[in-house]
C-alpha cells in the first residue's frame, strides 16, 4: 500500500483557540478524526497526550476550525486531520526536578533569556528564546516531534516505519534525533550543495542521506519532490512535508507560544519578531500571542536578503529584496501553508541585511556569551529594530533558533568573511574571535 504525504488544511484567520481544564480526566484517548475533502468542520474533543503523565498539561481540549482551501481541494492526495499532537506541561521554573520519558520528553520548555546589552541600548527589555537548548540543538525539534506524532495519529506511520523529508538543515537533524528515539527509519533528501559536516552528522544519527542535484522547486527533480515520490513508493513510509504540514505550526501554538506567554508573566509583552523558513514558528507563535492578548501584542516578520516576504508585507508583491543571504533555513519565495493563515495577523516587516546580522553574531558572543548562528543573530537584530520602532520601555521577544557550532567553519573564517565582503562589518574590537583562516 502506498504511503501518503501529509498535507493539511490550515485554520482561517478567524480561528479561535478554546481551552478547557480537566487535569484528572481518565477518558479513553479519542481516535484521530479524518476529514473528507470539501468540508468545513468545527470539532471539540479531549486530546490525550502520548507523553508520560508527569509531562502532560492540564489542558485537555482544543477547538480548532479546519476549512479546506480551494487549492488543497485540487491538489491534496491525503486526508486532512485535526492535529492530535502530544501536550506537555510547562512550569515557571523549568524542568530541573523532572524526569522525562525518552528524549522526546525533553523537547521544548526552553528558557527566555534577557539580552542585557541590547536591552540597555534600546531602553527596552529584549528577550531571546533559547531554542538551542532543545535536545537536537534547534527550534526545529518541536516541529520534528509534531509531524512524526501527527503521522502516528493518522495511522500513516506504524512501528518500524520510515519517515522521509526533504531538508538541508535543522529539521533533518531534529527528525534524526526523534526517529532514533522512537525507533523509526529516516530518509533525508537534500541538495548536493550542503556541507559534508551536515551530511556526516545526519548519517551518524542514523539517517539515510541522499544528496541530489540542486534544482529549482519547479523542477520535478527538486529534492522535496524526490522525498515525496520516494515515500509514496515504500510501504509504511510517510513524507512529513515540513513546509506545508500544519502540524509544524501547531507545535508552536501549543508549546512555544504558551511558554513565551508564561515566561513573560502572563503576556507582559509588547512585541514579538522572528524570521521564517517553513513559517511554522512565526505563524504559530503569532497566532497564540494575538489570540491571548486580543491583538495587543505586535508581531513583525524579519526577512533576510533574497526573500520575498518583506516586499509582500510592505507592497503586496512577491518580489525579492536584495540578493542571497549568508543565513540558512530562512527566507522564502512563497507563502507556505503554515504561514498563509496567519499572514494578516503580522503587523509589519523588517528587512535585515547580512552586514547587521554578522555583527550581531559577534556581539552576542562577546557581550552575552551566547554562540549563535546567523539566523538567530538576524532575529536579535530584528528585535532591536522593533524596539526602536516601538520606543523605550517595551518588552520584545524573539527566537534564538540554534547555536553557531554547525556554521563556525564559515562564520568564524576570515577568508570566508572576506569573500562575502563582511569582515569589515565586524567591529574591530570583536575581530579577535575570527580564529579560522
Nearest to 171, CA basis, from 336, 357, 382: 336
3-state SS of 141-196?
A: HHHHHHHHHHHHHHCCCCCCCEEEEECCCHHHHHHHHHHHHHCCEEEEEEECCCCH
- Whether 140 sits among the annotated catalytic residues: the reply is yes
The catalytically annotated residue of 375, 376, 394, 395 is 375
* Residues 6 or more apart whose Cβ sits within 8 Å of residue 10: 69, 246, 249, 337, 338, 340, 341
CA distances from 390 to 8, 117, 361, 383, 405 (A): 36, 18, 24, 10, 33
| Strand pairing class (112-114; 125-130) | antiparallel
Whole-angstrom distance, CA of residue 75 vs CA of residue 54: 41
Report d(CA 246, CA 66) in Å as an integer: 11
- β-pair type (395-400, 125-130): parallel
| C-alpha–C-alpha distance, residues 208 and 83, integer Å | 28
Residue of 140, 292, 298, 394 marked catalytic: 140
CA 350/CA 353 separation, integer angstroms: 10
State the number of CA atoms in the 13 A half-sphere of 116 facing the CB: 6
Please tell me the total number of residues recorded for the chain in this structure: 437
Strands 162-166 and 185-191: parallel
Q: Which of 321, 279, 273, 278 is nearest to 300 (CA)?
A: 273
Catalytic residue flag (residue 181): no
- Closest Cα to residue 397, out of 182, 21, 127? 127
Residue that the C-alpha cell 546580522 belongs to: 357
Residues tagged active-site: 140, 375
Amino acid at each position: 500500500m502506498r504511503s501518503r504525504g501529509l498535507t493539511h488544511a490550515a485554520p482561517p484567520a478567524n480561528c479561535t483557540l478554546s481551552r478547557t481544564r480537566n487535569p484528572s480526566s481518565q477518558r479513553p484517548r479519542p481516535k484521530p478524526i479524518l476529514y473528507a475533502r470539501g468540508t468545513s468542520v468545527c470539532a471539540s474533543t479531549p486530546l490525550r497526550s502520548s507523553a508520560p503523565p508527569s509531562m502532560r498539561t492540564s489542558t485537555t481540549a482544543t477547538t480548532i476550525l479546519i476549512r479546506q482551501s480551494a487549492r488543497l481541494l485540487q491538489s491534496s492526495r491525503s486526508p486532512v486531520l485535526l492535529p492530535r499532537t502530544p501536550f506537555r506541561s510547562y512550569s515557571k521554573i523549568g524542568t530541573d526536578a523532572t524526569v522525562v520519558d525518552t528524549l522526546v520528553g525533553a523537547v521544548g520548555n526552553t528558557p527566555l533569556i534577557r539580552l542585557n546589552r541590547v536591552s540597555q541600548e534600546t531602553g527596552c527589555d529584549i528577550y531571546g528564546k533559547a531554542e538551542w537548548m532543545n535536545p537536537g540543538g534547534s527550534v526545529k525539534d518541536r516541529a520534528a516531534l509534531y509531524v512524526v506524532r501527527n503521522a502516528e495519529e493518522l495511522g500513516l506511520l506504524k512501528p518500524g516505519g520510515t519517515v522521509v523529508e526533504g531538508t538541508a538543515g535543522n529539521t533533518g537533524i531534529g527528525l534524526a534525533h526523534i526517529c532514533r528515539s522512537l525507533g523509526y527509519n529516516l530518509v533525508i533528501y537534500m541538495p548536493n550543495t550542503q556541507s559534508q559536516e551536515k551530511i556526516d552528522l545526519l548519517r551518524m544519527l542514523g539517517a539515510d542521506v541522499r544528496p541530489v542535484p540542486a534544482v529549482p522547486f519547479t523542477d520535478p527533480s527538486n529534492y522535496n519532490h524526490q522525498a515525496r515520490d520516494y515515500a509514496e513508493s515504500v510501504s509504511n513510509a510517510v513524507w512529513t512535508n515540513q513546509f506545508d504540514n500544519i502540524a509544524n505550526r501547531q507545535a508552536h501554538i501549543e508549546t512555544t507560544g504558551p511558554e513565551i506567554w508564561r515566561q513573560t508573566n502572563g503576556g507582559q509583552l509588547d512585541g514579538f519578531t522572528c524570521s521564517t523558513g517553513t513559517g511554522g514558528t512565526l505563524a504559530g507563535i503569532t497566532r497564540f500571542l494575538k489570540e491571548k492578548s486580543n491583538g495587543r501584542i505586535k508581531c513583525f516578520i524579519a526577512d533576510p536578503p533574497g526573500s520575498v516576504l518583506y516586499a509582500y508585507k510592505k507592497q503586496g508583491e512577491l518580489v525579492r529584496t536584495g540578493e542571497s543571504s549568508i543565513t540558512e533555513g530562512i527566507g522564502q519565495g512563497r507563502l507556505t501553508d503554515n504561514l498563509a493563515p496567519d499572514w494578516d495577523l503580522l503587523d509589519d516587516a523588517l528587512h535585515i541585511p547580512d552586514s547587521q546580522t554578522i555583527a550581531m553574531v559577534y556581539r552576542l558572543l562577546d557581550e552575552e556569551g551566547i554562540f549563535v548562528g546567523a539566523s538567530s543573530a538576524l532575529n536579535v537584530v530584528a528585535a532591536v529594530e522593533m524596539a526602536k520602532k516601538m520606543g523605550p520601555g517595551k518588552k520584545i521577544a524573539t527566537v534564538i533558533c540554534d547555536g553557531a557550532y554547525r556554521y563556525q567553519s564559515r562564520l568564524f573564517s576570515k577568508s570566508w568573511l572576506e569573500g562575502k565582503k563582511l569582515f569589515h562589518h565586524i567591529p574591530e574590537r570583536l575581530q579577535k574571535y575570527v580564529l579560522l583562516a
